Amino acid sequence: MEGGRKVVVSALQFACTDSSIDNIDHAERLVREAHKKGANIVLIQELFEGYYFCQAQREDFFRRAKPYKGNQTIHRMQKLSKELGVVIPVSFFEEANNAHYNSVAIIDADGTDLGLYRKSHIPDGPGYQEKFYFNPGDTGFKVFETKFAKIGVAICWDQWFPEAARAMVLQGAEILFYPTAIGSEPQDDRLDSREHWKRVMQGHSGANLVPLVVSNRIGKETIKTEHGESCITFYGNSFITGPTGEIIAASNDKDEDVLVADFDLDKIKSQRHGWGVFRDRRPELYKSLLSLDGT
């Protein structure tokens, strides 16, 4: 079959400073570069407005949160997306009255805000103390009908859960997007999760027969904590998979990058249906997935 729906996706990778103006300018420059390379949907990394503040548990960092409505960063990205005709998921620290979420707003190619996803799985542990800041997201896993594709967007730690990827693809997601912030582990400098991280997401892509796009930051960030300083070196390695989980574009762990890859969504749809996993699912046998302890 000729002439399927074509889409070009992009993942950005850059080092953040702790100045939101600089980071937003930086993101805009790279979105423009992605657009010049033909991108239709451009993914910016998680919480790109500043340093990854969750290294510390600090009350003053709650002041970084902004309400969804009237959010200036989202407005700026809406203007940019309308000018360039590109879809942009915008990750941000959301304040909702006394609740806080790690959220992403999906901006369609004409600047329309298609809605919000709030991160469902909130990590905790040395260097990644997100439970101090974020309520568990209450939106559930969502898909967004953009100009170029129906997309599923989840956030960072969500990428370790096959259930999240499956839920989005069951709702019709044709491509999965994961803005991310991950790197070294401050408590153990021998622990390097990057290969594990990649393999897990390649599995989601291959098991669901959809392309998958990940954007992660680079750079060394040192944050003052209540017990001295904490430091993470973010390992980048942003990547894009094809529908069998194969990596078709990848960044290294040091350099700024604008990855692009193009797909024929109709061809992939036939491939997904032909492989038969969505015909042979047995949801009535998966009830243990609805419990924490398997009972």
* Residues in contact with ligand PUT by the rule CB under 6 A: 123, 125, 128, 156-157, 181-182, 185
Shortest CB 185 distance to ligand PUT, Å:
6
Residue of 95, 119, 130, 142 marked catalytic: 119
Would you state the structure tokens that stand for residue 66, as one six-digit string?
């902004």
Nearer to ligand PUT, 123 or 211 (CB): 123
Q: Are the beta carbons of 237 and 250 closer than 8 angstroms?
A: yes
Residue of 142, 156, 174, 221 marked catalytic: 156
Residue 119 bears catalytic tag:
yes
Could you give the CA distance from residue 294 to residue 15 in angstroms, rounded to a whole number? 41
Would you state the structure tokens that stand for residue 59, as one six-digit string?
């009350």
DSSP lists the bridge partners of residue 96 as: 99
Q: Are the beta carbons of 225 and 244 closer than 8 angstroms?
A: no
Helix 162-170 vs helix 194-208: angle between axes, to the nearest 10 degrees? Answer: 30
Could you give the CA distance from residue 11 to residue 179 in angstroms, rounded to a whole number? 9
Shortest CB 159 distance to ligand PUT, Å:
9
Shortest CB 183 distance to ligand PUT, Å:
8
Shortest CB 292 distance to ligand PUT, Å:
20
- Counted residue by residue, the chain has a size of 295
Nearer to ligand PUT, 123 or 242 (CB): 123
Would you state the structure tokens that stand for residue 252, as one six-digit string?
């290294």
Nearer to ligand PUT, 27 or 47 (CB): 47
Nearer to ligand PUT, 38 or 125 (CB): 125
Residue 16 bears catalytic tag:
no
For 91, 152, 216, 294, the CA distances from 146, given in Å and listed in that order, are: 17, 10, 23, 36
Active site residues: 46, 119, 156
